[in-house]
Structure 1
Amino acid sequence: MDWVAHARALATEAHASQRDKAGRPYIEHVARVAAAIHDDDAAKAAAWLHDVVEDCPQFADRVRDFPQPIHDAVTLLSRQSAPDAAHYYANIRQHPLALKVKLADIADNADPQRLRLLDPELAGRLQEKYSAALAELGERRSPQKTGSPASPQQRLQQMMEAARTLEQLVRAATGRSTTDCDLPAHQAALIQARDLVFAELEAQMEPEAFMIWRTMYSGT
């Protein structure tokens, strides 16, 4: 059985009448998520199916026909699989196949070109949502001990917000592309502070999650 082809056919049928927030056929998003996964047929099949259980419950029974790893991943990717967001992301984080698909899903949803098609207020809310998801999913497997009462995910969200704020301040202060040596001391210090926060954030996150987050904000 070609499970990838089977998954593609089921997803195409299930999402046939659906549109995304920009008014595009929803299956286009699903296809891009699947296309982003290489050399892993189980993950690619799960990517085709990743929204079927949640968004097309009338087709959920047919997902049970797939091999157990694919079925389990698709089940975890449904919001109904957990009582709240914390448990939802924790379960995905512990399942490599589901995690691979979820990161590809966020990468596509957070693509700056897609966000620019939306109302700015909605795009901003979605950016915050995807940042929170990446904080939950993107923590390094062996995080450094900080001594902070905040959880590692909360610390990542705090650093993400600090990095965004510093980036906005740098852009407002400089107003142009320049080097540190061209700037007054206080502006150069601001750039240095931004770069330090970005470097620490990168050190605390898995590379793929960090790049998704960085791309989302660099292009909008």
Structure 2
Amino acid sequence: MTEPRFTVETARVLAEVAHNRQKDKLKRPYREHVLAVGDALADFDDDIQIAGYLHAIAEDTPITRQALLDMGVSERAADIIERVTQRFHEHPDDYAAFIHDVAKDHDATLVKIADNAHNSLPERVQALAEKWPDKPPVSRHDDARPVLYTAVPREEVEAILRRINPHLLPELDELVSE
């Protein structure tokens, strides 16, 4: 008898439960963010979708890579999760270096594009700007997009943006020509 496979739906439920009581910078339920990132990757294979739902699990919960593997998460999905977890990088405080490292891996780049796009939703950017008027809310996200968008095929970026943040499509057109 084979063990049950760790599915996309399992990842979605785990993400919801693992982040259930967490809040984002705007005091909104953080699970909404992780679910949106996973949902934005619906056009891609299971490992990429699983990594999307679980992209913040190693950063924001006590769940380890080994625990994920023990639950049945594939090595590939665990690798993607690890690559998009900033604290695992050589220089975790250097966001630009982190983004360049993520962009070396196709699958991790897709997850990071979805994460970036959700964090860059107009209503979110506006709410952050109102909360902290002296601090540009997403300048690091703005700076990351050209690196991420040029690391994978344009149609893949477009598929993600159409699902999660269509407001970024004109910027994609400016950054990446056909």
Q: TM-score range by the shorter chain?
A: 0.7 to 0.9
Conserved 8 A contact 1:76-1:88: no
1:48 aligns to 2:59 (yes or no): no
Greater displacement, 128-137 / 105-114: 128-137
Partners in 1 of 2:13 and 2:69 — Cα distance?
15
Query: What amino acid sits opposite 1:133 in the alignment?
Result: A
SS in structure 2 at match of 1:134 = helix
SS in structure 2 at match of 1:16 = coil
Give the match for residue 63 of structure 1.
68
Q: Percent of aligned positions with the same letter in both sequences?
A: 27
1:79 aligns to 2:86 (yes or no): yes
Aligned residue pair count: 152
SS in structure 1 at match of 2:118 = helix
Runs (4+) off by over 4 Å: none
Give the Å deviation of 1:34.
1.0
Give the match for residue 33 of structure 1.
37
Task: Give the number of the structure with larger relative contact order, counting CA–CA contacts within 8 Å between residues 6 or more apart.
Answer: 2
Give the Å deviation of 1:70.
0.1
Conserved 8 A contact 1:131-1:213: no
Partners in 2 of 1:133 and 1:23 — Cα distance?
24
Give the Å deviation of 1:47.
0.6
The 5 A counterparts of 1:65-214 are 65=70, 66-84=73-91, 85-120=95-130, 122=132, 125-139=136-150, 208=157, 212=168, 214=170
TM-score by length of 2: 0.73
SS in structure 1 at match of 2:128 = coil
SS in structure 2 at match of 1:126 = coil
Unaligned runs of 5+ in 2: 162-166, 172-178
Check 1:53–1:120 CA distance in 2 against 1; reply closer, same or farther (3 A cut): same
Greater displacement, 38-47 / 68-77: 38-47
Give the Å deviation of 1:67.
0.5
Check 1:121–1:21 CA distance in 2 against 1; reply closer, same or farther (3 A cut): closer
- CA RMSD of superposed structures (Å): 2.8
Unaligned runs of 5+ in 1: 142-204, 216-220
Give the match for residue 19 of structure 2.
15
SS in structure 2 at match of 1:23 = coil
Give the match for residue 201 of structure 1.
none
Partners in 2 of 1:138 and 1:104 — Cα distance?
11
SS in structure 2 at match of 1:116 = helix
Structure holding more helix per residue: 1
TM-score by length of 1: 0.60
Partners in 1 of 2:151 and 2:41 — Cα distance?
21
Give the Å deviation of 1:69.
0.8
Partners in 1 of 2:99 and 2:60 — Cα distance?
18
User: Once the two structures are superposed, what CA deviation does each residue of 1:157-203 show, in whole Å capped at 9, x if it has no partner?
Assistant: xxxxxxxxxxxxxxxxxxxxxxxxxxxxxxxxxxxxxxxxxxxxxxx
Check 1:135–1:122 CA distance in 2 against 1; reply closer, same or farther (3 A cut): farther
